[in-house]
Structure 1
Amino acid sequence: MTPADPALAASLRGERAYHDLCRAALAAMIDGAQRHVVTGEDVSASGADAEVLGRRLRSLAKEMRELPEGPLFFGRLDFGRDARTAGDHAGQRYHVGRRRITEHPAAPPLVVDWRAPVSRAFYQASARDPQGVEVRRRFGWAPGSRGESADLTGLEDEHLGKEHLGKGRYGEERLGEGHLRDGGSEGSEGEPFQAPRARSRILASEIERPRVGPMRDIAATIQPDQDDLVRAGLAVSVCVQGAPGTGKTAVGLHRAAYLLYTHPQRLRRSGLLILGPNPTFLSYISQVLPALGETGVRQSTIGNEIAHELGIGIGIGIGTGTGPGEDDERAAVVKHDARMAEVLRRALYARVDPAAAGESGDLTVPDGSYHWRVPAHTLGRIVADVRAEEPPYAVGRERVRTRVVRYVQERAERRAGPRTNAWLQKVSRARPVGAYVDAVWPRARPQEVVAELLTDPAALAAAADGVLDADEQKALLWARPPRSWKSARWSAADLVLLDEVAGLIEHPAGYSHLVIDEAQDLSPMECRAIGRRAAFGSVTVLGDLAQGTTPWAAREWGELLAHLGKPEASVVPLTTGFRVPEAVVALANRVLARLDVAVPPGRSLRTDGELRIRRTDDVLHETVESVRRALTYEGSVGVITAGTDVVRVREALGAAGIEAADVDRLGARVTVLTAAVAKGLEYDHVVAVEPATIAEERGGGGGGRGLRRLYVVLTRAVSRLDVVHARPLPFE
């Protein structure tokens, strides 16, 4: 059928009118939320209750006002009338969107949230298993639509009911074919994109749509295997091993949105945290959850999370120096090693010294005119018993105090009967008791413990005996120690040491759920830091072992999950790509074959991409020409180079009149970036400059890490990839 078909025109008019109705209802919801804030201020309740109610109303009103503009629905479900298959939804029709819209709280919704149970059929129903659905409709919207009803340009029906079997995957009618979001281009090379469940050109158009700026949500295009992961229960921890372009990051973010929708009260109390590898990546994904109606979710790196909790700044991380604030690679590798946990535990508890009470060893506690004596052997037994229980350091300190007071209390009650709480507090605060506790179990600060370990060879040797060899201990010591721990400049690797000690002193506040992206690059000590925050919650771990580029990158998921404290988490592979074209995946698989990781080759369902390998004697000239060509297409252009080449590539582009931004400026048409920061980012067109230099660059490291970095670079392209080189390619 053509776009001019009367049936299509009538359907589009009806859906546009319905969208106008939904938009009016949403405006009323936003206005109503604001009115509730005003009336809530006058609510008749206790001060505390009124304050809680006011916060919730203001939060709701703020969320409603901050909803991004855009189409209000992307799909529709028409259920059959047979209650045996459709259940309570028999004969019902539901529009599916990013947020629930209703004309009245008690009225049936005009749009159901994509996370609602009924919406699952939109992602899971098939001709083999219709789940009561007769027709699944997808809507095509003009690119960049801000929600104007006129932007609804196409629709496509997939008939799933039994009466339609044998009429083709979509039945006899296929409304809107060729009239899609991109204007209905029919000239792409190869066969149309084959979705796992349906041959849907609207679905393909949405997945392949060019992008500039932050990452988009995929609520309209979630595939069945992705949906299974998104809707996993809150108590379930899962690890997603995702090949490039499989949507693992989007799956993790949509799972976060799903859990916030399904368990709002619990997650409001204990929180949900998104952890990414660097601030650039977090900026790139920052708009996904707000687009799904979820605002205020904390997104951070593990380093920033630790620094924030400890109230300290950080240095420059792994660098070329050896002083505080920067680490050479050798020192960083040792600091991130799991064995450091034992070294730090020893260093902390070496501060506990039962013999530090004084020459007599006995403790005399005043009680008015009377004095109680606690014998030295009793004090020693108290300290030894508490040490054996292995409580957090701060808890152990208070247990010593409590048991000393209890010893005195028992003797006082034998002499004069029960003691009051006021008496107990007086004894607990008595100066001799406090002095004794400070002497045998002194207070400890993480910064003080770690600084002593990294500046005092004797203290380090005692704590690391039998754990680290002499060379490893030497690598840890600061070459230029600060005057005191208060003036230390902490490196990125130091942060995990500080957090380990902080966790030994007192358990950190945890989260109900953590989403951890690019997890393959986490060190054992970073995993332990994250695990402490997930001790009583669950995790979604996202990553790709083939993209591990740190010196401590994981080689298999089991060990990493054990360090996280989640050895029971299931590892689910995603190998089918929807974003990266087949030609690009095939090239990346040639690099993958040279990596020592147990990862199956990726595959792609896209046959429309383009790969050009350009050998040249003038790399800069060919790079400029590749960018010029890329600019004749829609979408973003990423020029990825070794760090040593960034400046001259940007200058060459500038001399050719092409403005190129750095990676921090999201939304730029052309971006020049180093291979080191490319992970997790996507560009419609990528120009990879001199792969051999990227693979050999300092920081790429041995053991295949340079090739892994190149693997990352080659898989950032979601439409076209140009490889520009003068030197031999490292994968040939």
Structure 2
Amino acid sequence: MDAEIQSAYQEELQRLEHTAAEIDRQLQTLETVPRYYGDDLTEQALDNIRESRRQNLSIAAVEPYFGRLDFQEAGAAASQPLYIGKVGVEDEDTGHLLVIDWRAPVASMFYSFTGGEEAASYDSPEGLIEGLIYLKRNLVIRKQILQRVVDAYVKGGDNLDVADEFLLYRLGENKDNRLRDIVSTIQAEQDKIIRSAKNTALVIQGVAGSGKTTVALHRLAYLLYQYRENIRAERMIIFAPNSMFLDYISGVLPELGVGGIQQTTFSDWALDLLEQEVELSDPAERLDTWFAIGPQRPVLDEHAPGRYKGAMHFYRYVEAYLEAFEQNFVPEQPFEAWEGTALDAATVQEWFHAEYRHYPLAKRRERVVGRIKRWLEIELEKVWDSIKRKELKKKANARLRTYLKSMPDLTPFGLYNKMFGEAADLPERIVKASNKKFKKKIVDLEDLAPLLLIRNRLHGIDSSHVFDHVVIDEAQDFSPFQVALLKEQTRGHSFSILGDLSQGIHAYQGVHAWREFLELFEEEEQAYFQLERSYRSTTEIINFANVILERSGEALTLAVPVFRSGEKVRVAQVAEPERLQTVIAAVRQLQSGAHTTVAVVARTEEESRDLHRALQQAGLDATLIHSKQREYRGGLSVLPVYLTKGLEFDAVLITDVDEAHYELSPQDAKLLYVGCTRALHELWLLHTGAPSPLIAGLDEELYTSEM
């Protein structure tokens, strides 16, 4: 066996040297051609092609490929080795593909084939191609150095669980401050999502660590490759929960050779479209309110402002108000320019409701006002006496200004504010709170989607704001109203909507069941996927976190570990006077190992600040992550538990898992579950006094008390 491994290694070494040399040669050739900055369109197009090639070759130069598939097409005399990489590379002399892009149809077999003697197949533009796979090989290449060769399948061989072994090897690598691509380890169930048809609204329920964010980003890259004639990167958009999360995922698409995709938060995008007409309420205050401890926390019900204003019944309410506003927009009285000369109301109604009906409301008003002014000019031209005409014009203009007050030129906020001022059938609590903020032109997150709906009805949807594909990450925190709004602005209703109801810690604004989104789409244009395998944390951490989730009292999807074993979860009681010193000692112990990223997690932002101050005073270089953070730096981080969602760390220390901080409730269970599932390799929990009922009395096999 050693001889076989050595032979395979030598074979791959020679192939790598040949491929790397060809990539370097092509790069050197491109570098001899200077960039073009002139005005000639043909030269600009050629320069863009060269620059795209240069970028792709630069990616390939670092890691030319990661997999090999020996495939014999039905009817062919022998199998051919196919090398799979992030980008395709062609031998310029022979035209032969040295490396096949992972997004190509034939490359799908590298991910979908899991072994067996049966025929493999893939869909090509020419139809279904069938054949036999003789070898599936994983390769680890770093900076053109071959580090590892693992045969996941050999036809006729023993084929032990080496595929899982290779996956575990990659999962065991430590994390830095960025999410990375997973092209070399995409699993069959993930690949099915990535390669789903374009005009489909995908709703993906993925447990913590299932790779759902990365899958969605790889799907963007796949769509751009597969439908490159119909889709443009600048017409795609990713909505993430916050700016720090955007920074965390910022490296994935460039690693895949994709650029130009809009990446933003819903609030930033909405405020930009609203041209900063309103100010968003402080998100820190909102978080402090909803994540307060004990009785200070508001009651979470369907009348919570975020749930109420985000629901489809409120969408229909706004639509009905706009329809009524439109129907009553034109005055029922004629416009009398002066005594004996009037434009009858029926004519103005005809212009507004029939002739200009295809225009949005603001444009219709503009057209109707223009017609009225033109009518007035014609009537004035009939008056021959210039002095009298001047007097009549002055009188008519004054009357016109009065007349047009009944057809106000409203802004989105002006009309929304007017709606709440007239609201008689909305919950009093919501109306009162809204009107109080509206006086200062301050709105909450849940007001942005209604404001954009009004904007769309007033001004229409500009083509630059229509998307080819929309990704919504952490979608359990989105509302049906937001998705319904985006649906209006998305061609073919092409969505990737991904999240985890088990991590629905913002239930005061998000959905409680995926059907709230699925009901927005026709059955034939939607698809639902469930990712249950967790690739992030060790088996010990996942099993521990699952028990917490089971105590939530809700029927939630539990994560299935990939059997990567590690250290037991550590749970320890400490006396309050010793808590800070224990935290400092624990951090030093965790950092003394191989852990690159460590998180110290507290229940609130205020407690996070206290911990950060103590760590700094102890000489530890720690970054405080707060609600307005825009960058994730890695290393040692201190943050409240509700800001950990979406991130991952080599080790996590949760400092206050006692009954005062985490009650036996669905919200606190999800909150603690989120904190625990951020850890890849080690999870430590501290509590002063009695432990939280979410971890009290656990099976001793699930944890250790040793520190």
TM-score, length of structure 2 as denominator length:
0.79
Is 1:503 the counterpart of 2:497 in the alignment?
no
In 1, the alpha carbon distance for the partners of 2:185 and 2:286 equals 47
In 1, the alpha carbon distance for the partners of 2:466 and 2:514 equals 23
In 1, the alpha carbon distance for the partners of 2:364 and 2:324 equals 14
Q: Matches of residues 562-711 of structure 1 in structure 2 within 5 Å?
A: 562-563=519-520, 568-610=525-567, 611-617=569-575, 618-635=578-595, 636-642=597-603, 643-663=605-625, 666-692=632-658, 695-696=661-662, 704-711=666-673
> Which residue does the alignment assign to 2:144?
148
In 1, the alpha carbon distance for the partners of 2:93 and 2:401 equals 62
**Taking every aligned residue pair, what percent have the same amino acid on both sides?**
24
In structure 2, the CA distance between the partners of 1:391 and 1:208, relative to structure 1 (3 Å rule), is farther
- What whole-Å deviation, never above 9, does each CA across 1:65-85 have from its counterpart, x for those lacking one? 8748732211111124xx42x
In structure 2, the CA distance between the partners of 1:35 and 1:199, relative to structure 1 (3 Å rule), is closer
For residue 588 of structure 1, report the CA deviation from its aligned partner: 1.5
- What whole-Å deviation, never above 9, does each CA across 1:389-423 have from its counterpart, x for those lacking one? 79742455467679999999xxxxxxxxxxxxxxx
For residue 518 of structure 1, report the CA deviation from its aligned partner: 0.4
In structure 2, the CA distance between the partners of 1:379 and 1:549, relative to structure 1 (3 Å rule), is same
Is 1:317 the counterpart of 2:282 in the alignment?
yes
For residue 321 of structure 1, report the CA deviation from its aligned partner: 8.9
> Which residue does the alignment assign to 2:179?
215
Is 1:73 the counterpart of 2:69 in the alignment?
no
> Is the CA contact (8 Å cut-off) linking 2:203 and 2:528 kept in structure 1?
yes
In 1, the alpha carbon distance for the partners of 2:337 and 2:524 equals 47
> Which residue does the alignment assign to 2:682?
720
Is 1:168 the counterpart of 2:158 in the alignment?
yes
- Structure 2: which 5+ runs fail to align? 121-131, 288-296, 299-303, 377-395, 697-707
In 2, the alpha carbon distance for the partners of 1:537 and 1:431 equals 47
> Quick one: which of 341, 345, 352 aligns to 2:315?
341
> Quick one: which of 78, 98, 120 aligns to 1:110?
98
In structure 2, the CA distance between the partners of 1:280 and 1:407, relative to structure 1 (3 Å rule), is same
Is 1:60 the counterpart of 2:52 in the alignment?
yes
> Quick one: which of 466, 472, 477 aligns to 1:521?
477
> Is the CA contact (8 Å cut-off) linking 1:555 and 1:597 kept in structure 2?
no
> Is the CA contact (8 Å cut-off) linking 1:101 and 1:109 kept in structure 2?
yes
For residue 513 of structure 1, report the CA deviation from its aligned partner: 0.7
- The residue identity in structure 2 corresponding to 1:377 is A
For residue 314 of structure 1, report the CA deviation from its aligned partner: 4.1
In 2, the alpha carbon distance for the partners of 1:335 and 1:715 equals 31
Count, aligned residues: 634
- What whole-Å deviation, never above 9, does each CA across 1:616-669 have from its counterpart, x for those lacking one? 223323322322222233232111112232122223323443221234553432
In structure 2, the CA distance between the partners of 1:382 and 1:281, relative to structure 1 (3 Å rule), is same
Secondary structure at 2:247's aligned position in 1? helix
Is 1:262 the counterpart of 2:226 in the alignment?
yes
> Is the CA contact (8 Å cut-off) linking 2:280 and 2:445 kept in structure 1?
yes
- What whole-Å deviation, never above 9, does each CA across 1:570-610 have from its counterpart, x for those lacking one? 22111111222222111211221233544332210124122
> Is the CA contact (8 Å cut-off) linking 1:226 and 1:251 kept in structure 2?
yes
In 1, the alpha carbon distance for the partners of 2:445 and 2:490 equals 21
> Is the CA contact (8 Å cut-off) linking 1:302 and 1:530 kept in structure 2?
no
For residue 544 of structure 1, report the CA deviation from its aligned partner: 0.5
Q: Matches of residues 459-498 of structure 1 in structure 2 within 5 Å?
A: 460-462=420-422, 464-466=423-425, 468-478=426-436, 481-482=439-440, 488-498=441-451
- The residue identity in structure 1 corresponding to 2:65 is F
For residue 245 of structure 1, report the CA deviation from its aligned partner: 1.5
- The residue identity in structure 2 corresponding to 1:639 is V
In structure 2, the CA distance between the partners of 1:61 and 1:148, relative to structure 1 (3 Å rule), is closer
In 2, the alpha carbon distance for the partners of 1:360 and 1:199 equals 80
In structure 2, the CA distance between the partners of 1:158 and 1:586, relative to structure 1 (3 Å rule), is closer
In 2, the alpha carbon distance for the partners of 1:92 and 1:478 equals 71
- The residue identity in structure 2 corresponding to 1:121 is M
> Which residue does the alignment assign to 2:504?
548
Q: Which moved more, 1:272-281 or 1:123-132?
A: 123-132
For residue 677 of structure 1, report the CA deviation from its aligned partner: 1.0
In structure 2, the CA distance between the partners of 1:645 and 1:222, relative to structure 1 (3 Å rule), is same
> Is the CA contact (8 Å cut-off) linking 2:20 and 2:144 kept in structure 1?
no
- What whole-Å deviation, never above 9, does each CA across 1:445-482 have from its counterpart, x for those lacking one? 213323x33xxxxx5253x333x132321121125823
For residue 320 of structure 1, report the CA deviation from its aligned partner: 4.6
In structure 2, the CA distance between the partners of 1:444 and 1:19, relative to structure 1 (3 Å rule), is farther
In structure 2, the CA distance between the partners of 1:406 and 1:397, relative to structure 1 (3 Å rule), is same
> Which residue does the alignment assign to 1:180?
none
- The residue identity in structure 2 corresponding to 1:631 is Q
- What whole-Å deviation, never above 9, does each CA across 1:473-531 have from its counterpart, x for those lacking one? 1121125823xxxxx34443443332121122213521111111100011233323333
In structure 2, the CA distance between the partners of 1:568 and 1:358, relative to structure 1 (3 Å rule), is closer
- The residue identity in structure 2 corresponding to 1:140 is V
- The residue identity in structure 1 corresponding to 2:158 is G
What is the RMSD computed on CA atoms of the aligned residues? 3.8
For residue 383 of structure 1, report the CA deviation from its aligned partner: 4.1
Q: Which moved more, 1:499-508 or 1:219-228?
A: 499-508
Secondary structure at 2:623's aligned position in 1? coil
In structure 2, the CA distance between the partners of 1:720 and 1:401, relative to structure 1 (3 Å rule), is same
* 4+ residue runs over 6 A deviation: 401-408, 430-437, 564-567
In structure 2, the CA distance between the partners of 1:619 and 1:11, relative to structure 1 (3 Å rule), is same
Is 1:380 the counterpart of 2:346 in the alignment?
no
> Is the CA contact (8 Å cut-off) linking 1:71 and 1:148 kept in structure 2?
yes
- The residue identity in structure 1 corresponding to 2:693 is P
> Is the CA contact (8 Å cut-off) linking 2:178 and 2:248 kept in structure 1?
yes
- What whole-Å deviation, never above 9, does each CA across 1:24-57 have from its counterpart, x for those lacking one? 333344455566675x778xxxx78437625733
Secondary structure at 2:229's aligned position in 1? helix
In 1, the alpha carbon distance for the partners of 2:591 and 2:97 equals 44
> Which residue does the alignment assign to 1:95?
83
In 2, the alpha carbon distance for the partners of 1:106 and 1:404 equals 71
In 2, the alpha carbon distance for the partners of 1:35 and 1:199 equals 43
Secondary structure at 1:600's aligned position in 2? coil
Is 1:291 the counterpart of 2:255 in the alignment?
yes
- Structure 1: which 5+ runs fail to align? 171-193, 323-327, 365-370, 409-429, 454-458, 483-487
For residue 346 of structure 1, report the CA deviation from its aligned partner: 5.5
In 2, the alpha carbon distance for the partners of 1:507 and 1:437 equals 29
For residue 543 of structure 1, report the CA deviation from its aligned partner: 0.4
TM-score, length of structure 1 as denominator length:
0.77
Q: Matches of residues 346-385 of structure 1 in structure 2 within 5 Å?
A: 348=322, 352=326, 360-361=334-335, 375-384=344-353
In 2, the alpha carbon distance for the partners of 1:58 and 1:199 equals 37
